[in-house]
Structure 1
Amino acid sequence: MRFLFVIITAFILTSCTDKDGYELVWSDEFDYKGLPDSTKWSYDTEGNAWAWGNSELQHYTAHRHENAHVDNGILSITAHAEDGYNQPYTSARLITKEKGDWLYGKVEVRAKIPAGTGLWPAIWMLPTDWEYGSWPLSGEIDIMEHVGYSPDSVFFTIHTEAYNHTKGTEKSKAVCLPDAKAHFHIYGIEWTANKCTFFLDHEKVFQYKKQTNASSSEWPFDRRFHLILNLAVGGTWGGKHGVDESVFPGTMEIDYVRVYQKK
């Protein structure tokens, strides 16, 4: 029966993507149990020493079931309040770097985000090679961000040298989504050579276009990027109104991650 389900799912995915010229090139359906698949995901912990540049309050762990595990078809990334680390909270930051890196394509992530002031879940992309320089010169694509003190909103954003939050010039769209904590939603992006189009449940919500003769300052999105799933705590944005200790443990749940590219 399981084999039949896999065959039917693969057929549906192929049939749906053929219409617009895309094909599935990378995915994790989380149809296993235990730690995240090590052939697809790595743990990013190197920013723990400097609070990731955003004064964040979590310590990201690696290979730790309590912070990232798969069960019943769902990847759970969980933040805990606990002692024994250099920060008062633990969590996980999963990346596909050198295991899933793409130049252009369509990304879809079906996820349910946690509720609570101080939590800062995100589904996003960073450059793999940083060819234009350190952040923000090589760009950032935020497929979905949420800050717990703004419970009814999710955010879709791009950052570049010219347009980023340190200057207050980032290109962004806030979308009202009151049930984001209660239900799964599909967060997606279609990224081409001249635009980044963001989707919520397959509906277009925001688009950033490359202008004629744009330099890398405005459009660094012509190099390969990788995907990041993380749940931060506190920080300059997520912790703007403090951290509610009653929200722990807080969990972001991911049903699937799918990446498509043109044939």
Structure 2
Amino acid sequence: MKSYNLLFVLLFFSFLGCKQEASVIIDSYIYLQKEGREKKDWEIIWEDHFEGTEIDTTKWTRIPPNNADWGRHMTTDDMCYEIKEGNLYLKGINNPDTVSDPRPFLTGGIYTKNKFAFQYGKVEIHARLESAQGAWPAMWMLSEHNKYGGWPHSGEIDIMEHLNYDSIIYQTTHSNYTNNLGQKHNPPHGGTAKIDAGQFNTFGLEWYPDSLVFTLNGDRTFAYPRVKDADKSQWPYDQPFYILIDQQLGGSWVGKVNPEDLPVNMIVDYVKVYQ
């Protein structure tokens, strides 16, 4: 019996050791995928199912307001955040107090900046999108360390963006190559996919050293390849990125917000990252 127990313990710790082989961990929060993992099965390295009553602050930070089109209505106020029945609600609302804060709308968003970042792997975000005029929910990624400089030089990966009442989502890449050099079609830097926004869907990305493969409910929808002879700024995706999930409102792309359509929610069931 003792020999059997010893064998079990050894096998258990051997299993744990294998589970850690997918990544090299830097600074305790940056997961670099080990070389050769592309040919092996995916292993979960990080996840959140929002099962508590509060946002896990070891994993996420509420996104503060900023001057970008997408961030001008962001708030860290509890009014725009709720966890219930295993789901995170990121809200877009009419501002109930424009005296202390003159902005007409408030929105909630979270990111993993300085808490979790990774280089290469797979992301799955299971969520339901509510629609409204001026609603712009997004799931995306930015460089953790801006290896090539500020935006857009270090890249942006848009796993999902949804506008208004559309029946499609946008999946896009941004870089100096696409934005400043205007190379949006060589190769195409984005695509769309049909969606029933009122249902839960799984929005995904498979990130390899030579391509970004976007998915919806497990099906491949669009891919952005690394081009061998292109300007070097075509591929800033060789560095760790962090995750952002936010319910945005208004902006030059989505258009004006209809206050009568609010509140609107992005309801997130889980986030999983594999390598």
Same fold (TM over 0.5): yes
> Which residue in 1 is equivalent to 2:33?
none
> Which residue in 2 is equivalent to 1:68?
81
Compared CA separation, residues 122 and 165, structure 1 to 2 (3 A): farther
Once the 2 structures are TM-superposed, how far is the Cα of residue 59 of structure 1 from its aligned partner?
A: 2.5
CA distance in 2, matches of 1:70, 1:22: 28
Once the 2 structures are TM-superposed, how far is the Cα of residue 218 of structure 1 from its aligned partner?
A: 0.3
The answer on 1:205 being equivalent to 2:221 is yes
CA distance in 2, matches of 1:166, 1:253: 36
> Which residue in 2 is equivalent to 1:41?
60
Compared CA separation, residues 57 and 97, structure 1 to 2 (3 A): closer
Q: Secondary structure at the match of 1:217?
A: helix
Once the 2 structures are TM-superposed, how far is the Cα of residue 46 of structure 1 from its aligned partner?
A: 4.9
Give the counterpart of 2:179 among 164, 171, 190.
164
Give the gaps of 5 or more residues in structure 2: 1-18, 23-36
Alignment check: 8 A CA contact 2:175 2:236 kept? yes
Once the 2 structures are TM-superposed, how far is the Cα of residue 166 of structure 1 from its aligned partner?
A: 9.4
Kindly provide the CA deviation profile for residues 48-102 of structure 1, in whole angstroms up to 9, marking residues without a partner as x: xx2x1x2x5852222x322112111000000111133242111122110121100
> Which residue in 2 is equivalent to 1:6?
none
Give the counterpart of 2:91 among 78, 82, 86.
78
Alignment check: 8 A CA contact 1:153 1:175 kept? yes
Alignment check: 8 A CA contact 2:177 2:231 kept? no
> Which residue in 1 is equivalent to 2:46?
26
Letter in 2 for 1:153: I
Letter in 1 for 2:52: Y
The answer on 1:191 being equivalent to 2:207 is yes
> Which residue in 1 is equivalent to 2:13?
none
Once the 2 structures are TM-superposed, how far is the Cα of residue 168 of structure 1 from its aligned partner?
A: 7.9
Runs of 4+ in 1 over 4 A off after TM superposition: 17-20, 165-168
Query: Is the radius of gyration larger for structure 1 or structure 2?
Result: 2
> Which residue in 1 is equivalent to 2:26?
none
Cα root mean square deviation, aligned:
2.2
> Which residue in 1 is equivalent to 2:5?
none
CA distance in 2, matches of 1:79, 1:166: 34
Give the gaps of 5 or more residues in structure 1: 1-13
Tell me the number of residue pairs that the alignment of Structure 1 and Structure 2 aligns. Answer: 234
CA distance in 2, matches of 1:223, 1:259: 16
CA distance in 2, matches of 1:70, 1:225: 25
Kindly provide the CA deviation profile for residues 189-244 of structure 1, in whole angstroms up to 9, marking residues without a partner as x: 000100000000000000001011444410000010000001111111122xx222
> Which residue in 2 is equivalent to 1:4?
none
> Which residue in 2 is equivalent to 1:93?
109
CA distance in 1, matches of 2:112, 2:249: 21
Matches within 5 A, 1:218-257: 218-239=234-255, 242-257=256-271
Output the TM-score relative to the length of structure 2. Answer: 0.80
Output the TM-score relative to the length of structure 1. Answer: 0.83
The answer on 1:259 being equivalent to 2:273 is yes
Compared CA separation, residues 86 and 157, structure 1 to 2 (3 A): same
